[in-house]
């Protein structure tokens, strides 16, 4: 059997929306991830859409997408028995992941200072809105607030719509950015532990994570005192850049840029346009000079873009995309997410999407999931079905902690655990 990258790593996860991706990615890379849920189930199980539009804790497609390769145990962590179970699991664990409000787990005596004395090699990662200290520590936050306060939203929007407000990027990006930074910190701590034998506590702020992902906005201000502004369909900038979005004959959009990267590329573009008789005046010497970086005026650049835009509008998105790529222009089609499902490069050649069995719906029933964003050549990546609510409660308590059946029944009767 081929080992996976994180085989042998035990992760205890106490995460909701903000941090659940950390555990998913570690589980997909081979770690054993035990997700501790309230006895009523994680709140994320109530987020739609739902399979067959039937709201149910085990049918949330949102939960499915973010919780593959985990086990589920239900637990009232505010009860004495619940806290004792946390301590027992943490004593065996390599990593604890949590995204509660700062100070909450400490108030229950299950914070890092409480868990680490029984496991000096334990790594605990806390992902919160603003971090574990500072004046904003107890402020409420969310994915949207992280994107807004972190500066990312300021750079998203339009420069050709007067008085238009900033807009939100795709949903959940703030949480995903924060989770990725949290994951990087956690994996780095595991490497450090291999060297020192010591675990450590990691304090991750979603606000700081988003602030670290604002492209060149902060360096532009820190070093040049430049303030970047939004630009439609392209990167923000401290100075205006050429437009990039061109509509195609089939109603789609293509990102068009780097027209004057070199004389060779410019001439190849004009030649392509000339084949359809659409080059207009772009063979003029002044455009060659622009490609040689000898001269450039905004008026000429804008005119060249308009001529190219007319050329693009007479062709389909696929014709422009493939033709431009053949000439080594880094242009691309603006796709809807679902379009990638049918692209052979991703779906077949790269195996970006995977089918995961859901035997609870019948023998051989599978559903398609977004797969791994990276390919391991020596330690395969594999996603497994997300857990049903409390699916592994009994097995974890009996097999991992040695609880007898009578003890488990008592915990059920007193509401410490719940079996669906």
3-state secondary structure of 366: strand
Pick the CATH number of 10-213+388-413 from 3.40.50.300, 3.90.1650.10, 3.40.50.1980, 3.40.50.10540: 3.40.50.10540
Q: Are 124 and 96 in contact (CB under 8 A)?
A: yes
- Is pLDDT at 183 greater than 80 in this prediction? yes
- Is pLDDT at 264 greater than 80 in this prediction? yes
- Is pLDDT at 204 greater than 70 in this prediction? yes
Q: Is the peptide bond before 368 cis (omega within 30 degrees of 0)?
A: no
Mean pLDDT of 195-202: 97
Count Cβ atoms within 10 A of the Cβ of residue 395 and give its class: 0-12 exposed, 13-18 middle, 19 or more buried.
exposed
3-state secondary structure of 103: coil
What is the per-residue pLDDT across 222-247, written as a single tens digit (0 to 9) for each? 888 888 878 888 777 777 777 889 99
Q: Is the dihedral of CA 57, 60, 66, 68 positive or negative?
A: positive
CA dist., res. 198 & res. 176, Å (int): 28
pLDDT band at 251; cut points 50, 70, 90: very high
Q: Are 246 and 312 in contact (CB under 8 A)?
A: yes
* H or E segment and range at residue 192: helix 173-196
Show me where the domains of the chain are located: 10-213+388-413
pLDDT band at 202; cut points 50, 70, 90: very high
Q: Are 38 and 26 in contact (CB under 8 A)?
A: no
User: pTM here?
Assistant: 0.93
Integer CA distances (angstroms), 64 to 116, 164, 166, 276, 395, in order: 31, 36, 31, 49, 21
Lowest mean pLDDT among 89-93, 287-291, 306-310: 287-291
CA dist., res. 114 & res. 89, Å (int): 13
Q: Is the dihedral of CA 83, 89, 95, 99 positive or negative?
A: negative
- In 3D space, the residue among 205, 201, 191, 175 whose CA is nearest the CA of residue 44 turns out to be 175
Please report the pLDDT score of residue 294 as a whole number: 67
Mean pLDDT of 133-148: 95
Mean pLDDT of 12-40: 97
CB atoms within 10 A of CB 358: 17
Mean pLDDT of 207-231: 86
Mean pLDDT of 297-316: 93
CA dist., res. 406 & res. 385, Å (int): 30
Question: Comparing 235 with 72, which gets the higher pLDDT?
Answer: 72
Q: Are 95 and 123 in contact (CB under 8 A)?
A: yes
What is the per-residue pLDDT across 45-61, written as a single tens digit (0 to 9) for each? 999 999 999 999 999 99
Mean pLDDT of 74-94: 98
CA dist., res. 244 & res. 324, Å (int): 14
């Amino acid at each position: 059997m081929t080992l996976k990258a994180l085989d042998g790593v035990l992760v205890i996860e106490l995460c909701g929306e903000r941090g659940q991706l950390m555990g998913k990615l570690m589980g997909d890379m081979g770690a054993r991830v035990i997700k501790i849920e309230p006895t009523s189930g994680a709140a994320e199980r109530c987020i739609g859409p739902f399979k067959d539009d039937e709201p149910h804790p085990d049918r949330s497609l949102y939960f499915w997408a973010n919780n593959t390769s985990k086990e589920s145990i239900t637990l009232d962590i505010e009860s004495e028995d619940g806290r004792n179970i946390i301590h027992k699991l943490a004593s065996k664990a390599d990593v604890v992941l949590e995204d509660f409000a700062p100070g909450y787990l400490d108030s229950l005596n299950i914070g890092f200072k409480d868990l680490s004395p029984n496991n000096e090699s334990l790594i605990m990662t806390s992902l919160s809105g603003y971090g574990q200290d500072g004046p904003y520590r107890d402020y409420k936050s969310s994915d949207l607030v992280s994107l807004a306060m972190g500066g990312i939203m300021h750079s998203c929007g339009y420069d050709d719509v007067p008085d238009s407000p900033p807009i939100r990027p795709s949903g959940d990006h703030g949480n995903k950015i924060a989770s990725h930074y949290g994951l990087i910190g956690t994996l780095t701590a595991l490497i450090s532990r291999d060297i020192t034998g010591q675990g450590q506590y990691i304090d991750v702020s979603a606000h700081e994570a988003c602030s670290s992902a604002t492209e060149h906005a902060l360096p532009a201000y820190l070093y040049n005192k430049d303030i970047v502004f939004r630009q439609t369909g392209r990167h923000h900038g401290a100075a205006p850049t050429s437009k990039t979005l061109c509509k195609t004959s089939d109603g789609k959009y293509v990102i068009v840029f780097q027209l004057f990267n070199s004389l060779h590329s410019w001439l190849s573009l004009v030649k392509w346009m000339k084949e359809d008789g659409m080059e207009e005046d772009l063979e003029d010497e002044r455009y060659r000079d622009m490609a040689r970086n000898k001269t450039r005026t905004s008026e000429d650049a804008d005119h060249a873009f308009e001529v190219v835009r007319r050329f693009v509008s007479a062709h389909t998105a696929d014709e422009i995309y493939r033709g431009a790529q053949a000439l080594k222009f880094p242009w691309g089609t603006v796709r809807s997410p679902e379009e990638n499902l049918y692209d052979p490069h991703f779906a077949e050649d790269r195996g970006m999407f995977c089918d995961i069995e859901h035997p609870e719906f019948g023998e051989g029933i599978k559903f398609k999931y977004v797969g791994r964003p990276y390919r391991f050549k020596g330690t395969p990546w594999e996603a497994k079905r997300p857990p049903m609510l409390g699916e592994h409660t009994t097995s974890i308590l009996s097999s991992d902690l040695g609880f007898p059946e009578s003890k488990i029944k008592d915990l059920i009767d007193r509401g410490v655990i719940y079996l669906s």
